[in-house]
A = this chain, B = another copy of it.
Amino acid sequence: MKLSIVKIGGNVIDFPEKLEEFITIFAKLPGPKVLVHGGGIMASRFGENLGIMPEMVDGRRITDKDTLDIVTMVYAGLINKNLVAKLQSSKVNAIGLTGADGNLIQSVKRPVKGIDYGYVGDIQKVNVDFLSPLLQGGMVPVLNAITHDKKGQLLNTNADSVASAVATSLAKDHLVDLYFCFNKLGVLVDEKNEQSIIPLINEDIYGELRKENVIHSGMIPKLDNAFDALGKGVQRVWIGKAENLAMAFKGKLAGTIIEKQRYDLY
């Protein structure tokens, strides 16, 4: 059976009603699955209450010691454990893990090249030998952006990158689909028109779209990330709204599907 990696962000987590709806949908998704969550908005708000202002460069959070403590508390504590408790109440045998737990995700502190991101980690490896038996045992890992360097240091990592790294690592032994839930219905031709969804993107289409400058700059890292995952063996990547996840699972058009090549089997 196909293994599904689902990533959600602040646009689901920060809204109790949307989160409840998501939990209900996610609980019913068939097959083995992994949930990866971000939670940047909540961490920023929480830090501000403590007088620590978020500092972002190119959408990445500069992570000093205080900020690392805050994201560790908010991601690995508050958000992760509430998600696990809610999933457990929905009969999902969830287990919340950071990259440090069972040495699940080892990363390296990003080297300083112009910008010092602080305690930010770039993923080195995923411990599939720990993850696979959990999935085989019917457990649902709930992962977040906190990883470690195996030298005692926690590191703040991009949650999209965690989802991709876990997906590509599991793709060596499993058929894996990767689902990114975000705040739009899919990849749009016109950012201002929610209905202008591109239903399918493959490498050829992506090349054309980029040539025509159609893709919104904010989407390019997400799409590059998606093609990178496809290049490493992930079957299919989906980008869309969390509330359409159930439709996407049923193969209905509801968001953007990203495939390596539509006809690469021929």
Contact = CB atoms under 8 A, between A and B. Distances in A.
B81 A98 contact: yes
A139 B102 contact: yes
Contacts of A181: none
Interface stretch (A150-158, A162-170, A194-202, A256-264): A150-158
Contacts of A97: 95, 101
Contact of A76 (B69, B77, B95, B151): B77
A72 interface: yes
A78 interface: yes
A41 to B, nearest CB: 16
Contact of A148 (B75, B88, B100, B101): B88
Interface string A129-159: 0000000000100000010101111100000
Contacts of A103: 88, 93
Given A95-B101, A102-B95, A150-B88, A78 B82 contact: no
Contacts of A77: 72-78, 80
Interface in A11-65: 49-50
A108 to B, nearest CB: 14
Given A50-B50, A81-B146, A81-B154, A88 B72 contact: no
- Looking at chain A's contact residues, the main secondary structure is helix
A50 B73 CA distance: 14
Contacts of A154: 81-82, 85
A94 interface: yes
A89 interface: yes
A84 interface: yes
22 contacts: A69-B78, A72-B81, A73-B73, A74-B77, A76-B76, A76-B77, A76-B80, A76-B81, A77-B78, A81-B146, A81-B154, A84-B148, A85-B152, A85-B153, A88-B103, A88-B148, A88-B152, A93-B102, A93-B103, A94-B100, A95-B97, A96-B100
Given A81-B146, A95-B101, A97-B101, 5 more contacts: A72-B77, A72-B81, A81-B100, A90-B152, A102-B139
Interface of A: 49-50, 69, 72-78, 80-82, 84-86, 88-90, 93-98, 100-103, 139, 146, 148, 150-154
